[in-house]
Amino acid sequence: MTWGLRRQLFYIGVLVIFFLALAFLVVYPQISKLPSCTDNKQNGDEAGIDCGGSCVKACTFEVDQISVLWARTFEIIPGRYNAVAYLQNLNKDTAIYKIKYRFRFADKDNIYIGKRDGETFIPPGGQFAIFEPGIGLGNSIPVFTTFEFTETPVWNTVPEDKLSQLKILVSDIKLENQNTSPRLSATIKNNSFFIVPEVSVVALLYDQKGNAVSASSTFLDTLDRGESKEINFTWPQPISQNIVAKEIIPMYNIFLAKLK
């Protein structure tokens, strides 16, 4: 073997080693990467692609769909209405951070007269209400109201400490001046160490048949740990029905609650 040939073989060997090293640096991280909840693969202990198991995201097939128990409109003043959808989440430890929805309204002949779109969160396990205020429908009167979600829900598992510790309590519910200027008052308390921002509170009034006959809402910027506040709801017109039950539903995004 001549000296020139040996030199050529040496250079070829150096190039082969270089490209093998380069290939190793590119390929090895891909084949050695540990399973994660963001790699678009079903691996590790996942029940689906990037969902279930130890992932925060829950798989769609693991959860129950949200039940719409009823949806109605309530007249505030002539021509203006509040809309309420009363729903139930049967999933005790999963919730939705954000999802879009739509109310649709029809008159007595079931002719479409309007809609209202919005966005909300879904709390874990239990019944809750979505409230849309001040809906104007011109001279039409809404008789039929429907509610639907307009996008696919993304479910996330709620941390166990929030599920077990975060408690918002309502007490001292009192309705006054029903036949003149109705006013509903109550005390709301954050019975936990979490700070809860953006609390929307929905009030529902029921007649002797268990039908919701009126609704109102109020808002709290924040409810600090252990804090109590008095909340009030008012109506511009008398409530003619005999009110036998009152329900107050605190609504807050559990994912936004923080210990500090």
Tokens representing 31 are 């084949």
* Rounded distance between C-alpha atoms, residue 72 and residue 57, angstroms: 32
Matching fold, domains 64-157 and 160-256: yes
Q: What's the CATH architecture for 64-157?
A: Sandwich (2.60)
State the pLDDT at residue 30: 58
Mean pLDDT is lowest, of 56-65, 123-132, 176-185, 194-203, for 56-65
Q: Residue ranges of the domains in the chain?
A: 64-157, 160-256
Query: What's the pLDDT tens digit per position in 32-88?
Result: 566 678 778 888 777 888 888 888 898 988 899 999 999 999 999 999 999 999 999
Nearest to 182 by CA among 190, 192, 174: 174
Are 182 and 176 in contact by the 8 Å Cβ rule? The answer is: yes
Q: Fill in the DSSP letter of residue 138.
A: T
* Rounded distance between C-alpha atoms, residue 97 and residue 199, angstroms: 14
State the pLDDT at residue 52: 87
State the pLDDT at residue 36: 77
Torsions phi, psi for 62 (to 5 deg): -90, -15
The reported pTM is: 0.83
> What average pLDDT does the chain have?
89
Tokens representing 16 are 């082969």
Q: Fill in the DSSP letter of residue 235.
A: -
* Rounded distance between C-alpha atoms, residue 54 and residue 157, angstroms: 10
Give the full edge-to-edge strand order of the sheet including 228-234. Answer: 168-176, 183-190, 228-234
Torsions phi, psi for 11 (to 5 deg): -65, -40
Query: What's the pLDDT tens digit per position in 188-245?
Result: 999 999 999 999 999 999 999 999 999 999 999 999 999 999 999 999 999 989 999 9
Fold of 160-256: Immunoglobulin-like (2.60.40)
First-to-last alpha carbon distance for the chain, in angstroms, is: 76
